[in-house]
Structure 1
Amino acid sequence: MTSFTVRRLGPDDSAALERLAQDETDFTDEPPSPPLTPDAARAYLSDPGVWHWHAEDAGGNPVGFLMAYVHRRRHGEPLDVMFEEIGVRESWRRRGVGRALVDALHAQMRTQGIGSVWVAADSDGARAFYEACGYELDELQGVILSRSGNDGAS
């Protein structure tokens, strides 16, 4: 089996984000996104509330990624984590990359003393993966709704 390493990206890793944006379809089956500008990428990767990991092959090429946000809460535990997104290059799926990325997230949570994390599953396959990683369906949460701030409505 081909080996890979997992590392958390830092402020000087804007090129890694750019490669990910260019190859996004291979990771997420979605159209490519425009990459952040170098300044925006540095700000994103410097933000302590943004956690972004890459799994990389021996040549340093991304084969998977995971990003999450640390949230401050108004009650209960002071912090939780929103597990925002995970993607694994199609040719690397079912080889432990996704699980290794989730393990890195959970290790960071332990290091920071954060006990809870939540994620929205957008497909049966995603839900099965998260359940295999120890997540449970929260029956109280329904669907996620969104709104663009640019639609002119109040």
Structure 2
Amino acid sequence: MSQPIVRTVSAVAGADAPAFRIRRARRGDAEAMALLLRELGYPQGTDQQTVHWVVSHPEIEIFVAGDPQDRPVGMISFSHRPQLRLRGRVATVDELVVTETWRRRGVGRALIKQILERCKVLSVKQLQLVSPMASTPETRSFYAACGFSEIDSGVFRHLETEEGRR
């Protein structure tokens, strides 16, 4: 794995707002990440086994924003892989969530900035994001301010496992 990435960022909301740190997610962050995913609207959150699998996967990276006590208050995960038609790598933002009490302090922007920097290092040619939350005007505005463009060309099929059909 590459060098550890840790960056301290001053929060936007006033001089007295606490700073936060962007760092790679660790296996011990599973419970906090589950809470963040529940806040995003996924009632099951995640589990320790899935976090261990994803954190150690070579084509998935997760970064968290930690408060002054290093408790995760936001997270972003993205996957990257080679793609033939681009003759390079494509990346997808899989999850981005900031806990409600830390929103509008620059945490989401700092997390996006972190993966943009990783995309440069990885020579990613295209970064995409698919989010059910992007349907709200506030969220669309946030992503537009971060440089994303909205397109309407997706076709999806949700697949269930055998267990999911029972």
TM bucket, shorter chain:
0.7 to 0.9
In structure 2, relative to structure 1, the CA distance for the partners of 1:23 and 1:82 (3 Å cut) is closer
- Aligned-partner residue type, residue 135 of structure 1: F
5+ residue gaps, structure 1, are none
Q: Which moved more, 1:89-98 or 1:123-132?
A: 123-132
* Maintained 8 Å contact 1:71/1:79: yes
Amino acid at match of 1:8: R
Match of 2:144? 131
Aligned residues between the structures: 145
Q: Cα 1:145–1:32, aligned 2, differ >3 Å: closer, same or farther?
A: same
Counterpart AA for 1:17:
A
Contact kept in structure 2, 1:5 and 1:55, CA below 8 Å: yes
Gaps of at least 5 residues in structure 2 are 1-16
Inter-partner Cα distance in structure 1 for 2:44 and 2:36: 7
Higher strand share: 2
Equivalent residue, structure 2, for 1:52: 62
1:82 Cα deviation (Å)? 0.8
Partners of 1:149 and 1:60 in 2: CA distance: 36
Please list every run of at least 4 consecutive aligned residues from structure 1 whose deviation after the TM superposition is greater than 6 angstroms: none
Q: Percent identity?
A: 24
1:22 Cα deviation from its structure 2 partner: 3.8
RMSD: 2.0
1:72 Cα deviation after fit: 2.0
TM-score, length of structure 1 as denominator length:
0.83
Q: Give 1:148 deviation, angstroms.
A: 1.2
